[in-house]
């Protein structure tokens, strides 16, 4: 029998609303503790390292995380067995380089054990997160929203160099333009070379002596922009929509990051949602429950007519097929709407209605005991009076 997988959030020890920073911090601690290089020959540590790596690979990717939140481990069962993965999981899209660099840096004097030049090649920009609130109906059927987002663009005055017009960034004299500094030290293991990011140029290999007055040397200026986002039908609370190339600018000619729009769905006064299904209650009268008949039931598509069967009991559940939420994978497929029928007891009755109800009771069981003899009624009233009198004396004694 195959071993069941633990929940990815449980593996990393984070909550389901954890952000990227929390995920990275949690995984870094686990990877540092269980990395095979730090635990040679320890198969249990290797197993935990692989488990944590798989969890981080999914939860750090917004698309995979969305699929996992909706379908759990089943979302990736079809792709199991891919090459290069731990336990059959495909890690080809996961980026662990910065985490492992930090880990080995902690163990070996604050830097990587490998020498070489700094990574001055094109680097993808960071993702930008933005939240949007929508109604229950908008989540069901989809909608378009316009967001006001602050984005960075290359500075027009310095063309993104960060240097004052007429000047250029200079090669860092401390690292010689490599962006890294190599330190040699003696340890128990012998001579160890530690490589650290240059503190002068912060790894860029360049130093700006005269900064651009418009961007302050950053090479970028921020501005408000209006961006339209299409919210797909069937999206659920907490899920995100990715807009490509609307994040932070890349470094050294790298592509922009993405804009991740996290959706918050407002509560509905009548409907509740669970996956692709909708749940609600609908009131029916005693006459409708007893005799049957047509009732109007509210759905996200409007009111529908449902025929109640004679003798329907309160809390009877009925299913309205295809009146639920569209599937994100296939909007043509919708869930169902489950309605609980609740019999309403009238609070105010006319004299005629009361008399009719008493007559009905006589014909259907006489639960009101209207056929009691005068002697029996007198005995009942006397008993009630004595009970009240007894309660009064007991109160006085206390």
The pLDDT score that the predictor gives to residue 335 is 96
The pLDDT score that the predictor gives to residue 39 is 76
Asked whether residue 299 is domain-assigned, the answer is yes
Which of 85, 107, 129 is the last residue in one of the domains? 107
Asked whether residue 293 is domain-assigned, the answer is yes
Whole-angstrom Cα Rg for the chain: 35
The CATH number covering residue 332 comes to: 2.60.260.20
Give the model confidence (pLDDT) of 297-348 as tens digits.
999 999 999 999 999 999 999 999 999 999 998 989 999 999 999 999 888 8
Domain match, 7 and 77 both: yes
Asked whether residue 257 is domain-assigned, the answer is no
Which of 107, 139, 174 is the last residue in one of the domains? 107
Asked whether residue 163 is domain-assigned, the answer is no
Domain match, 7 and 59 both: yes
Domain match, 309 and 361 both: no
For the chain, the domain total comes to 3
Asked whether residue 361 is domain-assigned, the answer is yes
The pLDDT score that the predictor gives to residue 244 is 92
CA distance 89 to 52: 12
Domain match, 326 and 368 both: no
The pLDDT score that the predictor gives to residue 187 is 52
Per run of 10 residues, the mean pLDDT along the chain (length 398 residues) is 75 90 90 79 85 89 87 68 42 54 48 45 85 96 94 87 89 87 66 79 85 88 92 94 90 86 95 96 92 94 94 94 94 95 89 88 78 55 62 59
Domain match, 7 and 97 both: yes
Give residue 377's domain range.
355-397
The pLDDT score that the predictor gives to residue 280 is 97
Asked whether residue 42 is domain-assigned, the answer is yes
Asked whether residue 69 is domain-assigned, the answer is yes
Asked whether residue 302 is domain-assigned, the answer is yes
């Amino acid at each position: 029998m195959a071993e069941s997988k633990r929940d990815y959030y449980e593996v990393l020890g984070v909550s389901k609303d954890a952000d990227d920073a929390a995920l990275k911090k949690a995984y870094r601690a686990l990877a540092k503790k269980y990395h095979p290089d730090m635990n040679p020959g320890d198969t249990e540590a290797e197993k935990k390292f692989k488990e944590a790596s798989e969890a981080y690979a999914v939860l750090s990717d917004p698309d995979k995380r969305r699929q996992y939140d909706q379908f759990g481990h089943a979302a990736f069962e079809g792709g199991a067995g891919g090459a290069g993965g731990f336990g059959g999981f495909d890690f080809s899209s996961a980026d662990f380089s910065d985490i492992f660099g930090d880990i080995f840096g902690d163990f070996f004097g604050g830097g990587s054990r490998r020498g070489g030049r700094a990574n001055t090649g094109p680097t993808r920009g960071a993702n930008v997160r933005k939240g949007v609130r929508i109604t229950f109906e908008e989540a069901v059927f989809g909608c378009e929203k316009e967001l006001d987002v602050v984005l960075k663009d290359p500075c027009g005055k310095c063309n993104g160099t960060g240097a004052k017009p007429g000047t250029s960034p200079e090669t860092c004299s401390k690292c010689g333009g490599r962006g890294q500094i190599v330190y040699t030290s003696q340890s128990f293991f012998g001579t160890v070379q530690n490589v650290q990011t240059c503190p002068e140029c912060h790894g860029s290999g360049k130093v700006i002596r005269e900064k651009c007055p418009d961007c302050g040397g950053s090479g970028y200026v921020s501005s408000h922009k209006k961006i339209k986002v299409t919210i797909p039908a069937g999206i659920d609370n907490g899920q995100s929509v990715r807009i490509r190339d609307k994040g932070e600018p890349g470094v050294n000619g790298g592509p922009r990051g993405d804009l991740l729009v996290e959706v918050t769905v407002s509560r509905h006064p009548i409907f509740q949602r669970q996956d692709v299904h909708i749940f609600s209650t609908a009131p029916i009268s005693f006459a409708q429950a007893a005799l049957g008949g047509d009732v109007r039931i509210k759905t996200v598509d409007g009111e529908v007519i449902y025929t109640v069967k004679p003798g329907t009991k309160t809390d009877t559940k009925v299913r309205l097929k295809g009146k639920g939420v569209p599937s994100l994978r296939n909007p043509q497929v919708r869930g169902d709407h489950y309605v609980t029928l609740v019999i309403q007891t009238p609070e105010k009755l006319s004299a005629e209605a009361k008399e009719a109800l008493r007559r009905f009771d006589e014909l259907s069981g006489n639960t009101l005991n209207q056929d009691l003899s005068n002697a029996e009624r007198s005995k009942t009233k006397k008993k009630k009076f004595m009970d009240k009198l007894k309660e009064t004396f007991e109160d006085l004694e206390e």
